[in-house]
Chains A and B, each alone.
Chain A
Amino acid sequence: MSKKSLKGWLYLLPALIFLGIFMVYPLVDVFIYSVEEGYNSASQTFFGYGAYNYSFVLHDPYFLQAIKNTFLLVIITVPLSTLLALLISLALTSITKLRDLFQTVYFLPYVTNTLAIGLVFMILFKKTPYSEGLVNMLINFFGGPSVDFIDGPYWAKLFVLCFYTIWVVLPFKVLILTSALLSVNKDYYNAARVDGTSRWRIFRRITLPMISPSIFYLVITGFIGAFKAYSDAVALFGTNLNAAGMNTIVGYVYDMLYGDSGGYPSYAAAAALILFVIVLTITAINMLLRKKFVYIS
């Protein structure tokens, strides 16, 4: 090894050591845990190696519920939040008066604590013996029956979770898309105007391709983030998510480790690896689609 490359490795060493200890080693360890059958965390013993943990997890109704919840959350919130963010950004960039004010307003959820927001949502949606909750008061006002969004039917709970998730992820997306829209050179729009291009065509043929890298980035990070959802559900439905039927994959992993029914690191590891495979697959599909839809300068 030449002296120069040795020096290079030396500079990289601190980062490599930390990555090794906190990233690589745990990853390998998780994989080992996931194939150790009948692991006992108290005695640290196990029977042998095999796929039983995976089989158990995949047959666990709680896990299947968590998969269903997570997938619904991803499929609903990622497209919807991206679309909403795009609409808001378009509106923000087309106004000049009060733009700063609205930008701040839309960014506020980003700097607000998740649990605090959860509490506010509880107050808005929860039905108690003493109060109907603000949203129910609205529904009643328009003549509808009250719905218990927190402890009620599944669709109502899913609605609140999606609503909450979209609301939390929106600011970041608005921020990214607003700056992407503002960075499109005005001359492109002027050139299109000289030719009498309609606003819709300008958006579809010029704006959209130009900001497609940002949209793509948001979709990918949105997918990954939504698959890893957990704290949002806790903020709304409390820590016993299995009982509420609103658990997510990450929530399931956590419960298997530390929950009331916890103490099963092998099951947790298997579930975590299943999540990893899902995210990897989706991201790979996204990357393949990228070539087709995203303009890369």
Chain B
Amino acid sequence: MKVVLEHLTKKFPNRNRKIKEDVIAVNDFDFEIPDGKLIALLGPSGCGKSTTLNLICGLLAPSSGRILFGDIDVTKLPPENRGVGLVFQNYALYPHLTVLQNIMFPLENLKGKDKMTKEEMKKKAAESAKIVQIDHLLERRPGELSGGQQQRVAIARALVKRPRVLLLDEPLSNLDARLRLQTREEIRRIQRETGITTVFVTHDQDEAMSISDMIVVMEAGILQQIGKPQEVYDDPVNLFVAKFLGTPAINVFDGRVEKGELVIGKDRVLKISGVPDQEVTVGIRPEGFWVDDEGPLLCKVRAVEVMGRDVSIVSTHEGSQAEQIRSIISTDFHMDTTRKEVRFALKPRKVHLFDKKTGERIRFEVKE
């Protein structure tokens, strides 16, 4: 089931009653989630991700705009008639019920022709538990389960009615680091196995990039960019997206374009065309550097961190906005760790220019 958001907007009254102006949590969202895909809503805290999820779910009503599942307008439908399953950040498992009772709970509400017998419910619940591999824990209470197991129970409960759309709110944030890696694979597997269109909310870009088919980057209620993880990473539309994606983060410099050359500090780093002379913000990915003794960017070395697979050079440059620059160099190159200075050449594809004021991307061509 594809999900379409049409000019979706959600406003909340300001918490501070003196301020009359509403807070816009979701501002004119307009995109389509293709059928059977795993989508991440990615953004920093308070950017409106969870609000978007609740709008799709139907727990919140939009201020304006429409939501369609397939071709059906569900904007006015209550959650139970939309065919959605929601997994809460804290799982919201009923603590006084057993795992089996928790998973059965949604089925007990079915009315009319969908009404099931106890046996049918148990069978359905057991099937659902099997998908998430917790069928041996059915008699336990949530309090007796680990965080990861609780998470699976919550997913099983969301899946038991065979929803058309599965929604997960920060599904991994309550798990420890090791479980997080494991569980994200698990979510990917469950999504593949069931083929249910799945939307999950996260503020962790690693999580979003690693398992999703498509990511939606948001900030302050505004959709920044939508696309495949690699595309968004390689081709960010603005400085925010560039900074938000990637660990280590992108290195940001103050630079300027001068007569077809990109200049950072005193260093003329790249010959470019298609950009008029102006001050710009330059973003260079950590993997966008080579060590080259003829290279144009001269940096003072602070530390060389040997990681085994590669080497991370921490250095400083007068043009850098942050205190230090982090570059990741393949170990094919042997770095003398005692060096005081290093010269870098840049990989043009890893260099992005942004408007000094708006942060919008400025595209350029590389001159050989």
Contact = CB atoms under 8 A, between A and B. Distances in A.
Interface of A: 185, 187-188, 190-198, 201, 205-206, 209-210, 295, 297
Interface of B: 57-59, 78-81, 84-86, 88-90, 92, 94-96, 105-106, 108-109, 143, 157, 161
Given A190-B59, A191-B88, A191-B94, 12 more contacts: A185-B92, A187-B89, A188-B94, A190-B88, A190-B92, A193-B79, A194-B84, A195-B161, A197-B105, A197-B109, A210-B95, A297-B95
A193 B59 CA distance: 8
A206 to B, nearest CB: 6
Given A209-B96, A295-B96, A297-B143, A195 B88 contact: no
Contacts of A209: 94, 96
Nearest to A210: B96
B299 to A, nearest CB: 49
A210 B94 CA distance: 9
A96 B147 CA distance: 34
Contacts of A196: 78-81, 109
Contacts of A197: 105, 109
B90 to A, nearest CB: 6
B79 A194 contact: yes
Contacts of A297: 95, 143
B109 A191 contact: no
A209 to B, nearest CB: 4
Contacts of B106: 194-195
B80 A195 contact: yes
A99 B109 CA distance: 32
A193 B89 CA distance: 16
A185 B90 CA distance: 10
Given A195-B161, A196-B109, A201-B109, A188 B92 contact: yes
A190 B50 CA distance: 13
* Minimum-distance CB pairs A-B, first 5: A196-B80, A295-B96, A195-B106, A187-B92, A191-B92
- The winner among A187, A195, A196, A295 for most chain B CB atoms within 10 A is A195
23 contacts: A185-B92, A187-B88, A188-B92, A190-B59, A190-B86, A190-B88, A191-B86, A192-B105, A193-B59, A193-B79, A193-B80, A194-B57, A194-B58, A194-B79, A194-B106, A195-B106, A195-B109, A196-B78, A196-B80, A197-B105, A198-B109, A201-B108, A205-B105
A193 to B, nearest CB: 6
Contacts of A187: 88-90, 92
A201 B88 CA distance: 20
B109 A194 contact: no
Contacts of B85: 194
A280 B309 CA distance: 72
B98 to A, nearest CB: 12
Contacts of B96: 209-210, 295
A191 B57 CA distance: 11
